[in-house]
């Protein structure tokens, strides 16, 4: 049996659709922006799983559900770099992260920072969060890019898994040059990561005042490092 012809959209239907789409775009564009990036190379799978599960906790902990636009970025494999659209739905973000699987490859932190600067020039990005455990690029080049982020008032919040001393030194310097902060966490300490992400989300929505109001160990750790 032949299917009945589909109803053709009227000019009014099309106009309403375009108006709704425009309203959604404007809403997202007006939200404070946080760029959330994760190293998705082979050694990162345990941390990626933690981050996926903790996305909704990050938004809930910040107390500003649906008022923060987040872009997910990750790199993996052979020069693969991905960036999502800007999202205001924590469930959609968590679902997106859950679809990613880690693959062996080298770090692409410089590429990430250049991407963040490009996005910041389009519309202000309040903060960049990066979770990683390795640095396979020239530290001086990365620090130079971090300094550029600092001039743009784009702070980097760098969270290190593990205790590699060279990684810690590079991350600490990058955070300082950008006006951001550094912290270490263990892959088994999910609560620590949740607290750190929640603290940065608060900072992205309301600056130092929101972070001070939030309180807690994670907020205090970041406040001690942030520039006045």
203 or 27, which is more confident?
Answer: 203
Confidence (pLDDT) at 176:
96
Confidence (pLDDT) at 12:
59
Question: How many contiguous H segments (helices) and E segments (strands) does the chain have?
Answer: 8, 6
| Average pLDDT score over the chain | 82
What mean pLDDT do residues 10-39 have? 60
Q: How confident is the model at residue 6 (pLDDT cuts 50, 70, 90)?
A: low
Most confident of the ranges 85-94, 193-202, 210-219: 210-219
H/E stretch holding 71 reads: strand 69-76
Q: In 3D, which of 22, 126, 13 has the Cα closest to residue 68?
A: 126
Confidence (pLDDT) at 24:
39
The answer to whether 183 and 153 are in contact (CB under 8 A) is no
The proportion of the chain whose per-residue pLDDT surpasses 90, expressed as a percent, equals 50
Domain ranges of the chain: 32-225
164 or 8, which is more confident?
Answer: 164
Tens digit of each residue's pLDDT (9 = 90 or more) over 50-64: 766 666 566 555 444
Q: Give the lowest-confidence range in 8-22, 45-59, 212-226.
A: 8-22
- CATH architecture of the domain 32-225 equals 3-Layer(aba) Sandwich (3.40)
CA angle 98, 104, 110 (to 5 degrees): 90
Q: In 3D, which of 52, 57, 53 has the Cα closest to residue 72?
A: 52
The answer to whether 135 and 170 are in contact (CB under 8 A) is yes
Q: Please check the confidence at residue 89 and state whether its pLDDT lies above 50.
A: yes
Report the C-alpha gap between 73 and 88 in whole angstroms. 15
């Amino acid at each position: 049996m032949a299917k009945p012809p589909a109803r053709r959209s009227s000019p009014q239907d099309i106009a309403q659709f375009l108006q709704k789409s425009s309203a959604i775009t404007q809403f997202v564009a007006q939200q404070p922006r946080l760029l959330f990036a994760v190293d998705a190379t082979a050694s990162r799978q345990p941390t990626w799983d933690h981050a996926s599960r903790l996305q909704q906790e990050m938004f809930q902990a910040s107390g500003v559900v649906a008022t923060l636009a987040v872009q997910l970025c990750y790199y993996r494999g052979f020069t693969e770099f991905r960036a999502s659209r800007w999202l205001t739905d924590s469930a959609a973000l968590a679902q997106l992260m859950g679809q990613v699987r880690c693959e062996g490859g080298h770090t692409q932190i410089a590429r990430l920072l250049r991407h963040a600067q490009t996005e910041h020039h389009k519309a202000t990005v309040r903060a960049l969060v990066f979770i990683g455990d390795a640095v396979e690029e020239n530290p001086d080049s990365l620090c130079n890019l971090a300094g550029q982020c600092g001039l743009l008032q784009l702070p980097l919040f760098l969270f290190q898994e593990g205790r590699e001393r060279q990684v810690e030194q590079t991350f600490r310097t990058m955070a300082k040059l950008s006006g951001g902060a550094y912290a270490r966490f263990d892959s088994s300490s999910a609560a620590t990561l949740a607290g750190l992400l929640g603290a940065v989300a608060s900072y992205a929505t309301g600056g130092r005042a929101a972070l001070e109001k939030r309180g807690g160990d994670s907020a205090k750790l970041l406040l001690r490092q942030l520039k006045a």
